[in-house]
């Protein structure tokens, strides 16, 4: 097994991850405009997040299973293009159901990209799996952070028709990825060779880890969906200020991901996950209670909230790959896809709470989820070191 990190491959995969998650990060920033111009309710707005995530979560593990058996790098550019086209069409659709269909199409592109990209990253990282995953995850988080700002700029330029501009970066990066196909072929057969080499799979801990990731994802999508609206409606700030707040949370998350990955290398995977998830409940409560006092306090509290939310993420993905080392692509499809995007199912629930009781109460209700996630994380063992194959 190659122990050296292929930095060129990891860099281009991370840029691709940035672009694909730029599409995901753009959708919450579209919601305030769609609410006004397409006359949507909060519940309907949450439903658009659900449409994207259902399209992605249902089929992403299937793509991951194929990634374990075959090398399919063409899914990377195909996924990027499909995600960009779906998002581009959303701005032109005249009614809710056509908008939902467009964002679901974008979700399918997201599903196609992630498992193969994560499998290639796992191989290209060599012995530095956590470091490689942190770089890869940071690419996606930069995309999420830029998504609201880029969306705001596109909407200012062209109105809702500005969503079509997302196709341009997707096409450019797709061409770059195609140029790396020959390099990616170095990792073509490793997934097949891993079978029956003495590596053991721990499916029980993997299932509990998946449930933990889902809880963390529900918190993420609750904040990602309603934080801009909270900034506008409760704190009485501008649309741009709401986008800046969301981008700040996600930008802090980039730092949190890096800190989490480095800390996991030094202190172990499990302790990083427990500390991050355990801190979320009091931080959410503090934010909801104190943010209404002063806008500066609201911005300051986004810093520890972002650190705690994102520090465990890449660590949990690597834990999933280590729990089932014979199924790295499948684990990636579940951890990056099914578990993460299934968290979006909660978005309409919190949207309904917001319709009935206000966005303030919807965010307050998020504080219950970290308690469940922490309880699940306490049952997770430290990932075992894979067994060395017997000859």
The CATH number of the domain where 28 resides is what? 1.20.1250.20
Round to whole Å and give the CA distance between 26 and 24: 5
CA 250 from centroid of its chain's CA atoms: 11
Does residue 382 lie within any of the structural domains? no
pLDDT of residue 332: 76
pLDDT of residue 384: 67
Mean pLDDT by 10 residues, the chain (391 residues): 74 94 86 82 79 76 73 89 94 89 91 86 76 85 84 89 94 95 73 53 90 91 86 87 85 88 84 96 94 90 95 89 81 74 75 87 90 95 58 33
Report CA torsion sign: 45, 83, 341, 29: negative
Does residue 3 lie within any of the structural domains? no
- Running DSSP on this structure, what letter comes out for residue 296? H
Other CB atoms within 10 A of residue 127 CB: 11
pLDDT of residue 137: 86
User: Could you tell me how many residues make up the chain?
Assistant: 391
3-class state of residue 356 by DSSP: helix
Does residue 310 lie within any of the structural domains? yes
Does residue 225 lie within any of the structural domains? yes
Largest CA distance in the chain: 67
Asked if 314 contacts 134 with a C-beta cutoff of 8 angstroms, the reply is yes
Does residue 361 lie within any of the structural domains? yes
pLDDT of residue 109: 92
**Closest Cα to residue 116, out of 167, 169, 63, 158?**
63
Does residue 372 lie within any of the structural domains? yes
123 — phi, psi (to 5°)?
-75, -45
Round to the nearest angstrom and report the end-to-end CA distance of the chain: 15
Does residue 389 lie within any of the structural domains? no
Radius of gyration of the chain (CA): 20
Number of folded domains in the chain? 1
Round to whole Å and give the CA distance between 272 and 259: 9
Round to whole Å and give the CA distance between 195 and 192: 6
Round to whole Å and give the CA distance between 150 and 73: 27
pLDDT of residue 391: 33
Round to whole Å and give the CA distance between 51 and 35: 16
pLDDT of residue 270: 92
Does residue 47 lie within any of the structural domains? yes
Round to whole Å and give the CA distance between 84 and 30: 14
What is each CA distance from 323 to 249, 327, 342, in whole angstroms? 30, 9, 21
Give the residue ranges of DSSP H helices in 125-238.
129-158, 167-179, 181-184, 190-193, 203-233
Tell me the pTM.
0.74
- Which residues form the domain of 94? 9-377
């Amino acid at each position: 097994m190659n122990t050296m990190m292929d930095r060129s491959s990891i860099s281009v995969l991370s840029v691709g991850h940035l672009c694909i998650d730029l599409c995901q990060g753009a959708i919450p920033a579209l919601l305030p405009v769609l609410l006004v111009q397409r006359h949507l309710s909060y519940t309907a707005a949450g439903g658009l997040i659900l449409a994207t995530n259902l399209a992605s979560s249902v089929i992403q593990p299937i793509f991951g299973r194929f990634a374990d058996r075959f090398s399919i790098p063409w899914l990377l550019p195909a996924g990027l293009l499909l995600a960009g086209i779906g998002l581009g069409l959303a701005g032109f659709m005249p009614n809710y159901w056509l908008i939902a269909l467009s964002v679901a199409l974008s979700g399918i592109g997201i599903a196609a990209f992630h498992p193969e990209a994560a499998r290639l990253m796992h191989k290209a990282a060599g012995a530095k799996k956590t470091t490689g995953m942190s770089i890869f995850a940071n690419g996606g988080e930069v995309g999420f952070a830029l998504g609201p700002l880029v969306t705001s700029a596109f909407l200012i330029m062209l109105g809702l028709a500005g969503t079509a501009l997302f196709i341009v970066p997707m096409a450019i990066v797709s061409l770059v990825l195609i140029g790396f196909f020959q390099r990616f072929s170095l990792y073509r057969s490793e997934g097949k060779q891993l079978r029956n080499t003495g590596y053991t799979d721990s499916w029980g801990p993997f299932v509990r880890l998946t449930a933990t990731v889902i809880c963390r994802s529900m918190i993420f999508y609750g904040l990602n969906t309603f934080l801009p609206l909270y900034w506008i409606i409760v704190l009485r700030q501008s649309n741009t200020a709401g986008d800046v707040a969301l981008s700040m949370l996600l930008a802090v998350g980039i730092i949190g991901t890096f800190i989490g990955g480095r800390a996991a290398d030094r202190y172990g995977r499990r302790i990083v996950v427990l500390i991050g998830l355990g801190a979320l409940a009091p931080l959410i409560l503090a934010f909801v209670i104190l943010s209404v006092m002063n806008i500066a306090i609201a911005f300051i509290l986004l810093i520890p909230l972002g650190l705690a939310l994102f520090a465990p993420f890449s660590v949990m993905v690597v834990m999933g790959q280590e729990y089932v080392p014979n199924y790295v692509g499948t684990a990636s499809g579940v951890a990056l896809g099914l578990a993460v995007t299934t968290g979006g199912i909660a978005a309409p629930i919190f949207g309904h709470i917001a319709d009935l009781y206000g966005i303030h109460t919807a965010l307050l209700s998020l504080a219950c989820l970290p308690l469940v996630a922490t309880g699940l994380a306490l049952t997770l063992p430290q990932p075992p070191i894979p067994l060395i194959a017997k000859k």
